[in-house]
Chains A and B, each alone.
Chain A
Amino acid sequence: MRTFAAIHAPVPIASAGEPQAPSPPAEMVEIEPLVAGLFRFLRCLGASRELADDLLQEAFVVAWRKGKQALPERALASFLRRAARLLWLEHRRDARRTEAAISALALQVWETEITDDGGELVASARACVQRLRGRAAAAIDLAYARGSSREQIAKELGMAPNGVKTLLARTRAWLEQCIRRKS
């Protein structure tokens, strides 16, 4: 075991002007195209934005430690999704059995139905949302852009909370159908 003095022995560091060590493989792989899709996948599993951010980073670390950065992009994306799912399950250990089943279905969808990084699905959803008018459009904006509660939306739109519940449920059902037709 090291002593206190040994721990505190000066550790060489690179100064600003000194040449840095050769770049590791991280720079050889285009990260950006993988990030949006993996973030989307984690959000689809149910992770909050903050948690998706954390788990996504962990998934990349797992992949890099296993040397998976050399895989073709699609295979790497698939590996990252599986790693992210396992990390999500670890996070949701309290409900692991249920989450395992739900996330397995999500994984299946992402491996078979979604052929890109989910961008087409988002484009379809955007087109459908743009067709909404009136209270439906306002309710969707309040609920998903501002994260307003049912009561807050009701107050804003001059409706009863139960009316908002019904409005959101119907709008979601319509959007789901619209997105499916477009995809």
Chain B
Amino acid sequence: MSKQTEMRSRELTAILEEVVGGGAPADLAQRVSERLRNMPRRRGPSYLLAAAVLLGGVGVVFATAKQQAGDERFEGAAPAVAQDPMQQDPKSVSLQIQLVEANSKTEAGSERKVAWRVGSSKIASLEALGKELHRIASDPESQREHVLAGGAKRRELMPLIVRPAPGVKWNDVLAATDAAMAAGFGEIDWEQFDTAAIVFKGVASTPAEERELPLPKVVFQAPDDAPNKLRPTINVYRDGSIAHDGDPLFATVAGQPAELERLRARLRELRTRLLSAGEVTLQGRKTLNVPLLIRAHRGVEWSHVQRLLQIAHEPEIGFRKIEIAVASSGQGAKVDRAELVK
């Protein structure tokens, strides 16, 4: 089949599917608007992102949405055509996670694997990714000058931005992040995710919970000791459905637009409850000081977790502290760190 014929064939298929099945989801324009509204301003204050390893490299914290780097990626000159969205930002290290489909003929049902791209290097295994990240982290060229309060200057490693492609699984995002942590990156972003402080918490699960909702495994995790008693827990299942306290709040239905109002309403309700419980720190402005624990199935698509994170950060909901449940290393789920740092 010629490329022209293939193009026409795809066009006809798309048009027929729209005619007899339906076009763009009804809420897509609204979701795009919301997302654009929540985007950090161009050239706005640069949120510093950070990741800190706690207690000899056990805990990990991320602050994301240092949007300046992301903005500058798209500050190219070409006025009429889009820049290659994958062009590199010289002030950060870009780690792309790409979906490799063993059967590229169809998307549905094909075997899914991931590959990584760091700068211009294609990487096929997690082990090779760890080595490449180590190489970059050790390269003096990867250092940048950071001006401290008071004007003193310090050289430090560039931030790293994890950019998962559509379809990439949650486990893949955490594994890549873990590899970056092992390589020594202290500042790690997740692309398209606004300001956040995220902590990986090693959460103990019962065998039944482990069967129902297996958690991802990471090396860099903090123990979930003495968690805030008011902390709400949101479960995200493999199919993307979301529940709180056993109540289903969102379910994906093929071909149907995402109905997220129930989820939003519950999160707003939780916020109100937490505010009325006095969990507010007054420092001139109101602040919600209770974290939200997200227990996401390790095989769920990243986009489902990403959507929940975005909603949790919406101004009228405002969970700024997010804790990510990972398999507790004390439960035999510990990943061999050597696998990541070889």
A residues with a Cβ closer than 8 A to B are 1-4, 6-8, 10-16, 18, 20, 23-24, 26-27, 31-32, 35-36, 39-40, 43-46, 48-67, 75, 78-80, 82-83, 85-87, 90-95, 98, 101-102, 105-106, 109, 118, 121-122, 125-126, 129, 140-141, 143-145, 147, 172, 175-176, 179
Binds A, one of B23-31, B201-209, B259-267, B329-337: B23-31
**9 A–B contacts, CB within 8 A, in A order:** A4-B61, A16-B272, A40-B23, A46-B10, A63-B82, A66-B76, A83-B85, A101-B3, A125-B19
Q: A11-B320, A12-B283, A26-B39 are in contact. Are A35 and B32 (CB under 8 A)?
A: yes
CB <8 Å contact, B74 and A65: yes
CB <8 Å contact, A67 and B42: yes
Q: A31-B33, A64-B36 are in contact. Are A15 and B20 (CB under 8 A)?
A: no
Per the bound structure, the CA–CA distance linking A24 and B6 in Å amounts to 41
Binds A, one of B94-102, B130-138, B174-182, B211-219: B94-102
Per the bound structure, the CA–CA distance linking A7 and B322 in Å amounts to 11
The answer to whether B255 has its CB under 8 Å from any CB of chain A is yes
Per the bound structure, the CA–CA distance linking A67 and B71 in Å amounts to 10
Tell me which of B10, B20, B165 contacts A90 (CB under 8 A): B165
Q: A51-B167, A101-B3, A109-B7 are in contact. Are A2 and B17 (CB under 8 A)?
A: no
Per the bound structure, the CA–CA distance linking A179 and B8 in Å amounts to 12
Per the bound structure, the CA–CA distance linking A144 and B165 in Å amounts to 27
Per the bound structure, the CA–CA distance linking A18 and B74 in Å amounts to 33
Binds A, one of B229-237, B242-250, B285-293: B285-293
Per the bound structure, the CA–CA distance linking A107 and B7 in Å amounts to 10
Per the bound structure, the CA–CA distance linking A86 and B259 in Å amounts to 29
Per the bound structure, the CA–CA distance linking A65 and B8 in Å amounts to 32
Number of residue pairs across A and B with beta carbons under 8 Å?
229
Q: Which of B14, B25, B74, B100 has most A Cβ within 10 Å?
A: B14
Instruction: Please indicate the chain B residues that have their CB under 8 angstroms from the CB of A10 in the complex.
Output: 281, 283, 287, 289, 320
CB <8 Å contact, B98 and A31: no
Tell me which of A8, A79, A141 contacts B80 (CB under 8 A): A79
CB <8 Å contact, A39 and B24: yes
CB <8 Å contact, A144 and B20: yes
Q: Output the least CB separation between A81 and chain B (Å).
A: 9
CB <8 Å contact, B6 and A102: yes
Instruction: Please indicate the chain B residues that have their CB under 8 angstroms from the CB of A24 in the complex.
Output: 36-37, 39, 41
Tell me which of A23, A109, A129 contacts B19 (CB under 8 A): A129
Instruction: Please indicate the chain B residues that have their CB under 8 angstroms from the CB of A79 in the complex.
Output: 80-82
Q: A16-B316, A86-B82, A91-B166 are in contact. Are A60 and B35 (CB under 8 A)?
A: yes
Sample of 5 more A-B contacts, CB < 8 Å, known A4-B52, A24-B41:
A12-B285, A13-B285, A62-B74, A66-B83, A90-B98
Q: A60-B32, A94-B104, A106-B11 are in contact. Are A4 and B165 (CB under 8 A)?
A: no
Per the bound structure, the CA–CA distance linking A13 and B312 in Å amounts to 12
Closest B residue to A87 by beta carbon equals B85
The answer to whether B295 has its CB under 8 Å from any CB of chain A is no
Q: A1-B52, A15-B286, A51-B107 are in contact. Are A40 and B18 (CB under 8 A)?
A: yes
CB <8 Å contact, B156 and A1: yes
CB <8 Å contact, A36 and B3: no
Tell me which of B37, B81, B98, B284 contacts A82 (CB under 8 A): B81
CB <8 Å contact, B167 and A35: no
The answer to whether B187 has its CB under 8 Å from any CB of chain A is yes
CB <8 Å contact, B25 and A58: no
Per the bound structure, the CA–CA distance linking A88 and B248 in Å amounts to 33
The answer to whether B315 has its CB under 8 Å from any CB of chain A is yes
CB <8 Å contact, A12 and B4: no
Q: Output the least CB separation between B256 and chain A (Å).
A: 10
Instruction: Please indicate the chain A residues that have their CB under 8 angstroms from the CB of B316 in the complex.
Output: 14, 16
Q: Output the least CB separation between A115 and chain B (Å).
A: 15
Instruction: Please indicate the chain B residues that have their CB under 8 angstroms from the CB of A175 in the complex.
Output: 12, 16
Per the bound structure, the CA–CA distance linking A102 and B83 in Å amounts to 19
Closest A residue to B167 by beta carbon equals A51
Per the bound structure, the CA–CA distance linking A56 and B28 in Å amounts to 9
